[in-house]
Chain A
Amino acid sequence: MSSRRTVDVSRLPDITLDSGALFWWATAGLIAIEAMSFAIIIATFIYLRMTVTDWPPPTLPPPDLRWGIAGLVVLVISCVPIRMAEKIAGRGRPEEDRRRIAALIRVFLLIAAVAVAIRLLEFPGTHCKWNNSAYGSVIWTTLGIHLLEALAGFAEFAVVAAVLVGSHAEEKHLLDVRACALFWYFIVAVWIPLFGMIYVFPRLS
């Protein structure tokens, strides 16, 4: 009875910055939910497309490619500073690196703001309104929901950057940089099929 086994964990670290962290898992879960939502939006697209003969409706040109492509390119570029910030965060040295990471995030915020501005031009570029037809409804809703997601990702990074330059920055905030980055990559990646649905799909028929 006296020689009971014990497992000593006092040497284990307080935090991990890789995929073992709880917050990383939370972000992965959020991405799973969002991915499912966008999958259903794509299903809605295909379903509505199948019920009508003309897509877009007759006399309506397909959405403007100009702003569409510009938006996609800027979104992809926005990943560059985030990737750099995330790499530095992975070193796990908050005191040394936090200002550099915050600076990279500010560069990102600038680029992301351009992407949001372009998105606002993409709405009129569809040549229709949400209440003209089911075609307009699904395109506007997709643009809108993705815009909300992007704004959420933008806000997250803005808050993280503000915390990093403040006096309470800790190692756990480096993990937040990595988790927010993961979410942003998802926002950009999911836009690629959605871009296809909105801009390429109507040109195929």
Chain B
Amino acid sequence: MKTSREPVRKPPAAPEPAPLPAALPEAELPAHEREELRRAFETQRGFFGSLKSVDHKVIGKRYVITALVFFVLGGIEAMTMRLQLAKPENSLLGPDLYNQVFTMHGTTMMFLFAVPVMEGLAVYFVPLMVGTRNVAFPKLNAFGYWIYVLGGAFVYGGFFLNRGNDTGWFSYVPLSGPQYAPSHRVDIWANMITFTEVSALAVAIEIIVTAFKQRAPGMSLNRIPLFVWSVITTNFMVIFAMPAVMLASGYLALDRLVGTHFFNPAEGGDPLLYQHLFWFFGHPEVYIIFIPALGMVSTILAASTKRPIFGYTALVLSVVATAFLGFGLWVHHMFATGLPQLGESFFTVASMMIAIPSGVQIFCWIRSLWGSRPRMTTPFLFVLGFFFIFIAGGMTGVMLASVPFNLQVHDTFFVVAHFHYVLIGGAVFPLFGALTFWFPKLTGRLLSETLGRWTFAVMFVGFNLTFGPMHWLGFRGMPRRVYTYLPEMGWGPANLAATIGAGMLGVGVLLFLINAARSLRSGEAAGNNPWGASTLEWATSSPPPPYNFERILVVSNRDPLWKPEEMAVVTGMRTDRREVLTTRPLDAEPDHRAVLVGPSIWPLFLAFALAVGLVGSVFTPWAILLSGFLFLVAMIGWYWPKGEPSGHNARTAS
């Protein structure tokens, strides 16, 4: 084909922009107004003050740091499993502890790390990227964080008391039912689910409303940054997926605690109902983790090539299409349960269809890179790593969508290899790229590029060394979730390789943490926009002030900071109270000036009220009554007017 050899027409390169304060002097406020604004939005000082914080940046950072702590805990669990499997008939972990450890690993990574870390970055960056001062519901945001931390502490408290769930991260009945799991291990797990899902739902509502109602004037739907589109989509998925798992774990808890029969076939229940409900959540969950990462990839690509991303509309539609398709796939986790074949074929087709929007995105990204001279920074390297690993994982995904193949490798290490390629490749690599990319905005300091490259290299090699051999192990018949194997199986060398790889992966994460710690102490100052990126979070200082922007900016294109001469500012906002500009959902014309709530201890109290019910109901159903009473108290305290004009800090008003 001749046409394929023709040089590709370059997309228009962005002009080198002037730094914002110089290009847009109107964006600055007089000093006294700036001071007023700071007082209106700042978090109160002291320990008690920090508990009352409702600043999305404070809460977003807490989410990210907490999620990374859980990531390290989940990683330590992974390492102990790998050490146990390093050689045949190893005796580091017994079968019971091994069961607890793999369950805790999956639970931690899915519920306590992957979703919250993405939500945390969304909480931090969505208001900045759409150019507003805080999320729409600041107290709800704080509540979401507290309930998440309490849930994590609850399940780890159980684990340290030898009450870690041992029935797998999806805890299928009947194994997790009252008959086969009589201790409180599963009860703690089932209620923990409710904690984390309530948290995710709280974030979902506030992010969607913030993104639809508080965008900078002029930021019509077709100018929303791609990362924001990806988290909007994700949070719609949260709204429709999380209720399924809350009900699944709720029914399970009821079966266990008060003797209902949802999953008991002897009394008209059905164990498969649990699997349907769980995977109706569980498959979208994978996309809830993965779609924000797609937004990160687009964001980093655009900043690295200094060109607008190619195929904006196609990328947005692909993300939305992936989200829709994601709800039609859940049965492919259940191919081995003996469902009707016609049904299975339907889900095979649906699963393979996912390759279409994924392919569209990959080609848009390739086209965005084509002919550009990307800067080979650490975030960009992580994006390249994502391409390689995620495409490999996608390929095994297409293989697994086929029922006959699926049945052969069901419950083997092939599946373990597949989903780690998709999840680590598809979400963790972009996440580390994004953390490196946004670190300057979060902290005001740059990470070391040298250490960053080493981090990437060690993680990339370590990852492939860990999970590459698992494909082979799966083909050789090694089942998942066994604590050891016999030497005659011949699985020893590949397992040893995987264990060494896991060690490398751990070293890579450690390097990242060392890099972050060093940079926090003595890193190079970042300035407002170290990458020369185009989105609004780079229009303010690093880290941003409590009010985010001195004046709300007005945008007229998708890459406002690349064309600062086309920007404008909003005047006439009050600076003496917590005012945000709301705009209309489609074209972002100014609508009204809403007043946001301020610091409050009630979100923490409400989280405790809910925790009393969820922790207590493991032991007695009466805990629900106490919790209900506390809940009512918290609701009244949350809502009751403070007797001061709306939107002022108590300290300022007095």
Among candidates A14, A130, A159, A173, residue contacting B258 with C-beta atoms closer than 8 Å: A130
For window 245-291 of B, CB contacts with A under 8 Å fall at 246-247, 251, 254-255, 258-262, 264, 267-270, 273, 276-277, 280
Report the minimal beta-carbon distance from A9 to chain B, rounded to whole angstroms.
Answer: 5
Are the CB atoms of B273 and A9 closer together than 8 Å? no
Interface stretch of the complex, out of A21-29, A67-75, A104-112, A191-199:
A21-29
Q: A4-B24, A7-B570, A141-B251 are in contact. Are A40 and B262 (CB under 8 A)?
A: no
Report the minimal beta-carbon distance from A55 to chain B, rounded to whole angstroms.
Answer: 9
- Tell me the complex Cα distance, A33–B255, Å: 24
Among candidates A6, A14, A155, residue contacting B568 with C-beta atoms closer than 8 Å: A6
- Tell me the complex Cα distance, A7–B572, Å: 8
Interface presence of B520 (CB below 8 A): no
- Tell me the complex Cα distance, A57–B266, Å: 12
Nearest A residue to B260 by beta-carbon distance? A137
Residues of chain B within 8 A of A33, CB atoms compared? 201, 205, 239, 242-243
Residues of chain A within 8 A of B643, CB atoms compared? 167-168
Among candidates B267, B571, B646, residue contacting A172 with C-beta atoms closer than 8 Å: B646
Interface presence of B78 (CB below 8 A): no
Are the CB atoms of B635 and A22 closer together than 8 Å? no
Residues of chain B within 8 A of A167, CB atoms compared? 643
Report the minimal beta-carbon distance from B567 to chain A, rounded to whole angstroms.
Answer: 8
- Tell me the complex Cα distance, A35–B478, Å: 43
Are the CB atoms of B260 and A25 closer together than 8 Å? no
Are the CB atoms of A30 and B205 closer together than 8 Å? yes
Are the CB atoms of B26 and A6 closer together than 8 Å? yes
Report the minimal beta-carbon distance from B587 to chain A, rounded to whole angstroms.
Answer: 13
Are the CB atoms of A20 and B24 closer together than 8 Å? no
Residues of chain B within 8 A of A9, CB atoms compared? 570-573, 581, 590, 593
Among candidates B258, B264, B593, B641, residue contacting A13 with C-beta atoms closer than 8 Å: B593
- Tell me the complex Cα distance, A135–B260, Å: 9
Are the CB atoms of B260 and A47 closer together than 8 Å? no
Interface presence of A15 (CB below 8 A): yes
Are the CB atoms of A47 and B276 closer together than 8 Å? yes
Among candidates B246, B573, B632, residue contacting A37 with C-beta atoms closer than 8 Å: B246
Interface presence of B209 (CB below 8 A): yes
Are the CB atoms of B635 and A159 closer together than 8 Å? yes
For window 118-177 of A, CB contacts with B under 8 Å fall at 130-138, 140-141, 155-156, 159, 163, 166-170, 172-173
Residues of chain B within 8 A of A172, CB atoms compared? 595, 646
Q: A36-B239, A159-B636 are in contact. Are A6 and B262 (CB under 8 A)?
A: no
- Tell me the complex Cα distance, A27–B244, Å: 20
User: Could you tell me how many residues of chain B have their Cβ less than 8 Å away from some Cβ of chain A?
Assistant: 64
Residues of chain A within 8 A of B261, CB atoms compared? 131-134, 136-137
Interface presence of B446 (CB below 8 A): no
- Per-position 1/0 for A4-19, Cβ under 8 A of B: 1111111111111000
Are the CB atoms of A6 and B569 closer together than 8 Å? yes
Residues of chain B within 8 A of A44, CB atoms compared? 247, 251, 262, 273, 277
Residues of chain B within 8 A of A37, CB atoms compared? 243, 246-247
Are the CB atoms of A134 and B239 closer together than 8 Å? no
Among candidates A26, A134, A156, residue contacting B264 with C-beta atoms closer than 8 Å: A134
Residues of chain A within 8 A of B571, CB atoms compared? 6-10
Are the CB atoms of B641 and A48 closer together than 8 Å? no
Report the minimal beta-carbon distance from B643 to chain A, rounded to whole angstroms.
Answer: 5
- Tell me the complex Cα distance, A142–B590, Å: 43
For window 554-576 of B, CB contacts with A under 8 Å fall at 554, 568-573
User: Could you tell me how many residues of chain A have their Cβ less than 8 Å away from some Cβ of chain B?
Assistant: 54
Report the minimal beta-carbon distance from A184 to chain B, rounded to whole angstroms.
Answer: 16
Interface presence of B57 (CB below 8 A): no
Interface presence of A116 (CB below 8 A): no
Among candidates A8, A15, A30, A169, residue contacting B594 with C-beta atoms closer than 8 Å: A15
Residues of chain B within 8 A of A13, CB atoms compared? 592-593
Nearest B residue to A56 by beta-carbon distance? B268
Interface presence of B603 (CB below 8 A): no
Q: A12-B593, A16-B592 are in contact. Are A26 and B136 (CB under 8 A)?
A: yes
Nearest A residue to B595 by beta-carbon distance? A14
Interface presence of A205 (CB below 8 A): no
Report the minimal beta-carbon distance from B173 to chain A, rounded to whole angstroms.
Answer: 13
Residues of chain A within 8 A of B267, CB atoms compared? 132-134
Residues of chain B within 8 A of A41, CB atoms compared? 247
Residues of chain B within 8 A of A8, CB atoms compared? 570-572
Residues of chain A within 8 A of B573, CB atoms compared? 9-10
Are the CB atoms of A14 and B592 closer together than 8 Å? yes
- Tell me the complex Cα distance, A6–B25, Å: 12
Residues of chain B within 8 A of A170, CB atoms compared? 641, 646
Interface presence of A32 (CB below 8 A): yes
- Tell me the complex Cα distance, A168–B593, Å: 21
Residues of chain B within 8 A of A25, CB atoms compared? 136, 208-209, 212-213
Interface presence of B584 (CB below 8 A): yes
Interface presence of B217 (CB below 8 A): yes
Interface presence of B591 (CB below 8 A): yes
Known: A40-B247, A137-B254. 18 other contacts (CB 8 A): A4-B24, A4-B26, A6-B569, A10-B573, A12-B572, A14-B592, A16-B592, A33-B239, A37-B247, A44-B273, A47-B270, A51-B270, A130-B260, A131-B259, A132-B261, A134-B267, A159-B635, A170-B646
Ranked 6 nearest A-B pairs via Cβ: A10-B572, A137-B260, A168-B641, A134-B268, A5-B568, A29-B205
Which residues from chain A sit less than 8 Å from chain B, CB to CB? Answer: 4-16, 20-22, 25-26, 29-30, 32-33, 36-37, 40-41, 44, 47-48, 51-52, 57, 130-138, 140-141, 155-156, 159, 163, 166-170, 172-173
Give 7 CB contacts A-B under 8 Å. Answer: A7-B217, A9-B573, A26-B140, A36-B244, A47-B276, A130-B258, A168-B642
